[in-house]
Amino acid sequence: MTELEILQAYWWLLIAVLGAVLVFLLFVQGGQTLLWAGRTEVERQLMINSLGRKWELSFTTLVVFGGAFFASFPLFYSTSFGGAYWLWMLILISFVVQAVSYEYRRKKGNIYGTGVYDGLLLFNGIVGCILLGVAVAMMFFGAEFTVARGNILDAGNPVISRWAPTHGLEAIASWKNLLLGVAVFFLARTQGALYFVNNISGDASFTARMRRVAGANGLVFALLFVAFVVVLMLSPGMRMQPDGTFASEPNAYLHSLLHMWWGAVILLAGVVMVLYGIFRTALDSRWRAGIWFCGIGTVLVVVILFLLAGYDSMAYYPSLLDAGSSLSISNSSSSLFTLKVMSRVSVLIPFVIAYIAYVWRKMNKQPLTPAELNREHHQY
Amino acid sequence: MNDLMSVVDWSRAQFALTAMYHWLFVPLTIGLSVIVAIMETAYYRTGNERWKALTKFWMTLFGINFAIGVATGIILEFEFGTNWSNYSWFVGDIFGAPLAIEGIVAFFMEATFVAVMFFGWNKVSRGFHLASTWLTSIGVTLSALWILVANAWMQNPVGMEFDPAQMRNVMSDFWEVAFNPVSMNKFFHTVFSTWTLAGVFVVGVSSWLLWRRSNVGAATTSLKIGAWFGIAGMLLTFMTGDGSAVQVARVQPMKLAAMEGLYDGKVGQELVGFGILNTDKKPGDDAPAMHFEVSIPKGLSVLANHDPNSFVPGINDLLQGIELTPAGDTVRTVSYAERIATGRCAQQALRDYNAARAAGDESAMADAAARVAKDFKYFGYGYFETPEQAVPPVTVTFYAFRVMVCLGGILLLVLMLGAFASSFRPRLLANKFVLWAGMISLPLVWICSQAGWIVAEVGRQPWTIQDLLPVTAGISDVPSGSVQLTFWIFAAVFTLLLVAEVSIMARFIARSSRGDIEKDNN
């Protein structure tokens, strides 16, 4: 492997990790869809304040995911965001309204009332999760675009990356994409419930209810995820050939998984951790650590899914209109110089993770209780 | 793409809308974070609960504003992809890096420690809480650094070279991209302006409390801090603004000419202090540039070159190729008509390069690549039909510059009055004129701040990247109707959220005025 290829693989791994952490942190969005499972105002207050201390992490991870993708694979940024316009705009709008809803929902003078802000959190929980899942699914099932760099010399029509006229709506209408989207949605709800079990105490009936919610949503997720994996393994993928062209290959992802046997092992370990986290929480009324097992398992599974999309000469953004336009980590990355610079910056990532973990631990030493909530000056 | 200009205009409108809304909130976040940290430092050092109460009072307002700043910020980042996809490819190799660094270094820092700021009072030690407040402030300031580095680079593209094989620009010197004089000056000018804005905000709110004769002690202390902090910010903003003018004269002389409505420059050029622009004036015609003006003799020569007898070129001079060298000497360089021809040569050379590459003719490729490199400096001009297309909108730039400078001067006087009254003549704080001056300055500081960005961004039109990529070539392949729809969606959403934000803040301040800030916030 050349130095450039190593750095491309390294940055794809970082993108995979960021994407995986984002999927884990979607427990915030999932939790937002569970607010209506709170039976009393106190329960809802506990849920919203518990989530409210973490919403910025998922939001920030999405922003950094975008920034890192821009820096390392700018052709993806240019092609996907400019092409699947409506898909990304809907995702962004759902996050815009989320950002203010926590802070404003119970503030006096908020004009629209608590119900509207809670509705916006629900909107973010549903649309954000499903459409992010759809966006990731396109990395396997492809999208309708073409890339022609020479277009930039045509002053009358200069755009390099062009998309189908539906601009992302066709991706939302694809059942394969939606399958992953809905699976992500139920995973987020499951993790939201697991997070509540871990982070809120002092109300036994609430915790018991959340355990049941985690079990039920976890079951739906597991079924949808299995269906997605089966569809993925049976689907064709676009693989780069030795001459640099792309060709569609039946069962390509199955082949890649067999080539990357270590990935299959990690994927399996991740799935086991996810299932263990969910179902032990549902069944063992004293166990609260499910979010950590499920969360770490989720990260492992999603990292491997990203690696399946981008490694082993696969096109991580297959074009359904023109195979040659497909994006791979080798033809869409930044230059060697920029990847080197960014790799030096990435040395900071462990420090960032370390202080986030330290602060999280310090702030979450004790689960949130109604008594503690009453002492808080700043409430959502 | 039949509706090219419509897509360009709506994409610009959407970006301007998002940026301007974002900039309503962000300067208050950056500046107020420092004021809150200063107050909490006083609490940490003295242990006086009064400081804690003041910290919490202003921190609540900070929190209300912080959320909506975050909300509008996410759109900006992604709009580079959604609406400026060609741009994202053409310079993504350089431009993406500061955005990623901003996320890794700054966003996580502010997101992590802002939670401690709000929720950590009962969970962490006083020292840890204070550190978190400062780290939040550093985080928001660092995020400004990297996005301003990115913005400055668009106006002064350095540290890169064009690679014809990839049909894009690639980074060649990170430090030159990050820490060139233009980016550093832009960063400090912008951040100091946020200090001013936050200082005026604190003065304005405190003035209202004093006008209501409510919480006199808390309001006087806050007003004193806000006024002195605002003065420091304003003086530093003026200093860095002077540096900006010198750099604009060197790097974007057309912007400077537009800021002044200057068509025909001269030695010892005056600065228009106040004037009414002839909006019918076109480059090259004989019409007067101004209907009326009050000017400062030799002022523009001093501003641009720090030399009262220097030459400052106007729009007509620049179109003909008369410019200043970095040393301040007047030279005849390349006229805009020649730039267009050179840009077209560069673009043709690039087509030849692609054709040679397809044919596998390495000798022709090398020849074409050499021609691209020779003419690439004016690559972007190749998209124009006439030199006049490279002239920014003069009217908006001219008036925005005057609004910014005039309001800056007025605000400095108000801040000085507030600082003097709160520090030396407290009885003046019962004077309604003084308090009204503080309250009226509240909207003025936002107008001033927005005007600054209008000068910077309208004045650099038609370029997304100076001299290399005009807005017409930077867009995405999205129908105009779609962009119009998202424009109106954002306009509605941002406006509704702004109304809610202002309402919540006003209600909180009003409620606080009926109680005791020093007791209610402890």
- For chain B, give the mean pLDDT: 93
How many whole angstroms separate alpha carbon B352 and alpha carbon B354?
Answer: 5
- State pLDDT tens for residues A256-296: 999 999 999 999 999 999 999 999 999 999 999 999 999 99
End-to-end CA gap in chain A: 52
Which residue range is the domain that position A30 belongs to? 3-375
DSSP state of B159: S
CA angle (A101 as vertex; A98, A106 as ends), nearest 5:
165
Contact B428, B414 (CB under 8 A): no
pLDDT digits (tens, 9 = 90+) for B489-515: 999 999 999 999 999 999 999 999 988
Give the Cα separation of B248 and B257 in Å (integer).
10
Name the β-bridge partners of A238: A248
Contact A341 B171 (CB under 8 A): yes
Count of C-beta atoms within a 10 Å radius of residue B253: 21
Check if A57 contacts B (Cβ < 8 Å): yes
A313 found inside a domain: yes
With an 8 Å Cβ cutoff, are B479 and A348 in contact? no
Name the residue among B498, B489, B457 with its Cα closest to residue B14. Answer: B489
Task: Specify whether the CB–CB gap between B47 and A69 falls below 8 A.
Answer: no
What pLDDT, in 10s, does the model give residues B374-402? 999 999 999 999 999 999 999 999 999 99
The pLDDT value recorded for residue B1 is 47
Give tens-digit pLDDT for B240-281. 999 999 999 989 999 999 999 999 998 889 999 889 999 999
Nearest to B56 among A66, A352, A377 (CB): A377
Is residue A380 domain-resident? Answer: no
Q: What is the mean pLDDT of residues A137-149?
A: 94
Mutate to test the interface with B, among A61, A337, A348 (most CBs of B within 10 A): A337
CA of A368, closest CA in chain B: separation in Å?
12
Which of B2, B4, B15, B82 to mutate to probe the A interface, most A CBs <10 Å?
Answer: B82
Q: Chain B contact for A123, CB < 8 A? A: no
Longest dimension (CA), chain B: 85
Beta bridge partner(s), residue A163: A145
How many interchain CB pairs under 8 A, A with B? Answer: 286
**Arithmetic mean of pLDDT over chain A:** 93
Asked if the C-beta of A107 comes within 8 angstroms of chain B's C-beta atoms, the answer is yes
**A272-276, B17-21, B120-124: least confident range:** B120-124
A79-118 pLDDT, tens digit per residue, is 999 999 999 999 999 999 998 999 899 899 999 999 999 9
A176: left (phi over 0), alpha (psi -120 to 50) or beta: alpha
User: pLDDT tens digits, residue range B404-455?
Assistant: 999 999 999 999 999 999 999 989 999 999 999 999 999 999 999 999 999 9
Phi, psi of A247 (to 5 degrees): -140, 140
Neighbour tally for B416: CB within 10 Å: 15
Structure-token pair, residue B337: 């008509």
Query: Which residues neighbour B247 within 8 Å (Cβ) at sequence distance 6 or greater?
Result: B156, B181, B182, B185
Q: Check pLDDT > 70 for residue A377.
A: no
Give the separation between CA B216 and CA B275, rounded to whole angstroms. Answer: 43
Residue A83 lies in a domain: yes
How many other β-carbons are positioned within 10 Å of the β-carbon of residue B26? Answer: 27
Of B66, B96, B383, the CB nearest to A74: B96
* Helices B49-82 & B108-119 angle (0-180, nearest 10): 150
Q: In Å, how far is A107's CA from the nearest CA of chain B?
A: 6
Rounded to whole angstroms, the maximal C-alpha distance in chain A is 67
| CB-CB neighbors (< 8 A) of A100 in chain B | 67-68, 71, 497, 500-501
pLDDT, one tens digit per residue, over B181-211 is 899 999 999 999 999 999 999 999 999 999 9
Q: What's the total number of domains in chain A? A: 1
Contacts of A74 in chain B (CB under 8 A): 88-89, 92-93, 96
Q: How far apart are CA A298 and CA A292, in angstroms?
A: 10
Q: Would you say residue A297 lies in a domain?
A: yes
**Torsions phi, psi of A13, nearest 5?**
-65, -45
CB-side neighbour CA atoms (13 Å) of B497 = 32
pLDDT of residue B323: 79
Mutate to test the interface with A, among B104, B166, B464 (most CBs of A within 10 A): B104
Give domain status of residue A369, yes or no: yes
Q: With contacts defined as CB-CB under 8 Å, which chain A residues touch B113?
A: 359
B120 and B111 Cβ atoms separated by less than 8 Å: no
Whether the CB-CB separation of B97 and B32 falls below 8 Å is answered with: no
| Chain A residues with beta carbon closer than 8 angstroms to that of B172 | 337
Distance from CA of B280 to the nearest CA of A (A): 29
| DSSP notation for A48-105 | HHHHHTTHHHHHHHHHHHHHHHHHH-HHHIIIIIHHSHHHHHHHHHHHHHHHHHHHHT
For residue B171, what pLDDT is reported?
Answer: 94
* Average pLDDT value for residue range B137-145: 94
ipTM for the whole complex: 0.92
Is the predicted pLDDT of residue A14 greater than 60, yes or no? yes
B292-331 per-position pLDDT tens digit: 999 999 999 999 988 898 889 999 999 999 877 766 677 8
* Partners of residue A369 on adjacent β-strands: none
Whether A114 is in a domain gets the answer yes
Cβ <8 Å between B500 and A80: no
Judge contact between B100 and A345, C-beta under 8 A. yes
Interatomic CA distance for residues B223 and B512, integer angstroms: 16
A7, A339 Cβ separation under 8 angstroms? yes
Residue B8 in tokens: 């360009």
Q: How is residue B102 annotated by DSSP?
A: I
Amino acid (1-letter code) at residue A260: M
Say how far apart CA A154 and CA A164 lie, in whole Å: 20
Helices assigned H by DSSP within B120-173: 126-155
